[in-house]
Amino acid sequence: MKLTLPQKAILQSKQSINIFLAGQGSGKTHSMSVISSFFITNFPKALGLIAANTYSQLNAATLKTIREIWTKNLGLIEYNQYNTQGNYVIGVIPPAHWKKNHTFKDYSRVISFKNGAAVLTGSLDNYKALDGITNAWTLLDETKDTKEVAIKEVVIGRLRQEVMYHDKKGVLNDKGQGIPFMPLFMFTSPAKLEWINEWFELDKFEHEIKEKIFQEDDFFCKDHNGKRVVISSTFHNKQNLPSNYIQNQFQRLNPDLQEMLIYGSPFSRSGGEFYKYFSRDQHVKELQYNSDLPLHISFDENVNPYITLTIWQLQGKRAMQIDEICLENPRNSLSALCLEFEKRYYNHQAGLFIYGDRTSKKEDTKLEKGQNFFTLALSYLSKFHPSLRIPTINPSVVMRGSWINTIFSNQIDGISIEIDRNCTNTISDYMYLKEAADGRKEKKKVKDETTGISYEKYGHASDCNDYFLTYAYNESYDRFLNGGQEVEFYVYDDGKVL
């Protein structure tokens, strides 16, 4: 089978960390078979690892396809008592007359080759079982379903067997000449996953990615900070697919899934987003602080994974989030948050308005009588002479979400929302936060593997913004409610009602 240009681009990489994001039917597993056979044939002393997310996936899909291609295109066949000319055995001790570069106490998850090469196989649903190995190269299948911690803390940490090197000319050798090469190759169909997008910094290249992948004869390839990313559409492999495969995919999938599963886009909506009409292209801008305009800041008092403050300025119906402050442990306190704000906007004199969750105004038994989250914030920021703006009741999550989605789709009262590109936590909220079955925000909890603390990963920055926007444009929001319960707004100055 002739390799496609995107396949060649990933297979020829000299980077340590690589990912091939491609539409369904793009030949990702074929690429795994070619690169594994290259290492097995040319560098038999380099111990390999091929892993998938479950043993079921590994055996029924990944290894099955890899072995079929080894046989069909490369002539590698399994050794057994009926075929003594075979090249490899699986899960058993290799024949005594074969060369042995690697020995194991347990061969149940080992593919051993006649030339002395060996490949470990593993499941990442129990990734900690890989802790004891040391290998030279790794191939992972369907990384979109893999835990971030499994790759970053375990898989990469085991890549430390120095066998392969790139010399000054970039030629790969096993003579110890040049820079050690212990590569990780990940192969996956796209999914809108924050950790993959952040790790490979895909957001920086979004415009270039979209320019290329939606052209049937082009693809994206970028080397950046020791990583290579290749993104391509299914069209590149159409010669190896049934003639009507891509056409059937277009008929079967909605437009968002077409972008993801045919064109390979890592930015397309995957379905179920809470903020359905947020678009990075449309709503993320390069914004600047204007010292002549008031600052509007909104708090979220959760401290894990960080304590949050979003910072806005208004020009009529143009709402601009110019900044965010999200402080993690050990700085995840209100006092540290306000101090950081003061450092950034020390000379601001055009007015300051404070917003947030109405429930944060409740008296806190841990504080002196009469004090709460907002009285403390007003005190910490007193040099700015702030005014407190909170509703008598919090706006409905469902209704405020529907109203903000309507603004994002440019369909209500001429209001526009813009987010500065450096507000990464806010942008992640708008991109990745899902909608629950009851129409509210699905705030799934995740657990920090190091601290053991569970927290809601998404929703903090967007909650801040919901409170601010529904207050700042309360007339529009009230009209949107169509006669529902009217929300009364009061302005507080140093804790006193005006």
Report all structural domains of the chain as residue ranges with CATH numbers, in order of start.
Answer: 5-261 (3.40.50.300), 280-497 (3.30.420.280)
Is beta strand 227-232 parallel, antiparallel or unpaired with respect to 17-22? Answer: parallel
Distance CA 479, CA 34 (A): 61
Lowest-confidence segment of 11-20, 331-340, 429-438 by average pLDDT:
429-438
- Does residue 493 carry a pLDDT above 80? no
pLDDT at 367: 54
Q: How many other CB atoms are there within 10 angstroms of residue 15's CB atom?
A: 18
Distance CA 236, CA 75 (A): 25
What are 273's two structure tokens? 């987003």
Are the beta carbons of 310 and 461 closer than 8 angstroms?
Answer: yes
pLDDT band at 358 (very low <50, low <70, confident <90, very high): confident
Which CA distances in Å does 32 have to 7, 79, 304?
A: 10, 21, 39
Among 327, 328, 373, 324, which residue's Cα sits nearest to residue 344? 324
| pLDDT average, residue stretch 9-13 | 96
Among 223, 222, 211, which residue's Cα sits nearest to residue 265? 211
Residue appearing with tokens 């070619």: 34
pLDDT digits (tens, 9 = 90+) for 312-336: 999 999 999 999 999 999 999 999 9
pLDDT digits (tens, 9 = 90+) for 64-88: 999 999 998 888 999 988 888 999 9
Please indicate whether residue 450 or residue 35 has the higher confidence score (pLDDT).
35
Residue appearing with tokens 């699905």: 442
pLDDT band at 498 (very low <50, low <70, confident <90, very high): very low
Is beta strand 118-123 parallel, antiparallel or unpaired with respect to 172-173? Answer: unpaired
Ramachandran assignment for 284, one of left (phi > 0), alpha (psi -120 to 50 degrees), beta (any other): beta
Please indicate whether residue 131 or residue 369 has the higher confidence score (pLDDT).
131
What are 190's two structure tokens? 């796209």
Share of the chain above pLDDT 90, in %: 73
- Does residue 104 carry a pLDDT above 80? yes
Does the pTM surpass 0.85? The reply is: no
pLDDT at 437: 87
pLDDT at 497: 41
CA atoms within 13 A on the CB side of 269: 17
Average pLDDT over the chain reads 90
Ramachandran assignment for 420, one of left (phi > 0), alpha (psi -120 to 50 degrees), beta (any other): beta
